[in-house]
Structure 1
């Protein structure tokens, strides 16, 4: 379709963005359709032709938090996890979750100044957003 742009979404279900409105170059623009083509997500914004689509190259799209799709219990957005205090189940302070290392071939990894923690239930025991804390297993292999 003419006027489509490639999108690198940070969502499991990019089709949930259909109908959402973003600001593009200061103007509100609604996503009219999303389709998958050869492993790529292609988006068409309402009223955008090929020339307009080319002007969008390299921009980032953000949704207000109120527009984000809800997640199942136990799933979190990255922005909710960054900045959490990370402690072991025995109470050892491992620092603050600073970075999420994305690994499509295996588990993502949460990084603090002291540890690398696989994003897996075996290692991440609990997340308490209200308390600002993540509890991880007492595994010496997590320490840098």
Structure 2
């Protein structure tokens, strides 16, 4: 068995943090286009080996050079353009314990998803479905009963004064008329 075929039964979805994604092949020699979701984009190589979302497949990742919107990289076991193309869209994960600890006012997106969102009066507004980043700052996508669709809440100190990970909740002070 090669390294990328060896499942790691100690890694589960609760312990994995998404650190990047494969955007397809780069060239004809098996390199991939790699998008990094890390605060320091090059740090993605430091967390190797990276796994599939279920932890069943591991790849050793070697960054070969920066390219537009990411990096060209080699993944263990990927030798051809066709093999690299077949991995397009695969999200790469690292075990939480291999990632750096965050300051008190920073959070991994995975920790925010699923939290209950309450307003400052204690009324439930919904749950965090996703954390989106469109370049101007993070947005929390909130869904729940009573909402006709998703509501995008700016993830700023003004709009989200309290994040209580231990309590599984976020206290929000949304802009007037948002909910």
Residue matched to 1:80: 111
What TM-score do you get using the length of structure 2 for normalisation?
A: 0.64
- Aligned pair in 2 of structure 1 residues 29, 78: CA closer, same or farther (>3 Å)? same
CA displacement, residues 57-107 of structure 1 (integer Å, 9 cap, x when unaligned): 332222222223333331111110011111112222212112333312x23
Q: Which structure is higher in RCO with an 8 Å CA cutoff and minimum separation 6?
A: 2
CA displacement, residues 26-77 of structure 1 (integer Å, 9 cap, x when unaligned): 6643122253223332222357544454453332222222223333331111
What TM-score do you get using the length of structure 1 for normalisation?
A: 0.77
Report the Cα offset of residue 23 of structure 1: 4.3
Residue matched to 2:62: 32
CA distance, structure 2, for counterparts of residue 121 and residue 59 of structure 1:
33
- Aligned pair in 2 of structure 1 residues 75, 57: CA closer, same or farther (>3 Å)? same
Q: Pick from 98, 110, 118 the counterpart of residue 129 of structure 2.
A: 98
Residue matched to 2:167: 131
Report the Cα offset of residue 134 of structure 1: 0.6
Report the Cα offset of residue 7 of structure 1: 1.4
CA distance, structure 1, for counterparts of residue 57 and residue 90 of structure 2:
14
Q: Which stretch shifts more, 73-82 or 28-37? A: 28-37
Q: Pick from 69, 74, 85 the counterpart of residue 44 of structure 1.
A: 74
Task: Name structure 2 gaps, 5 residues minimum.
Answer: 1-26
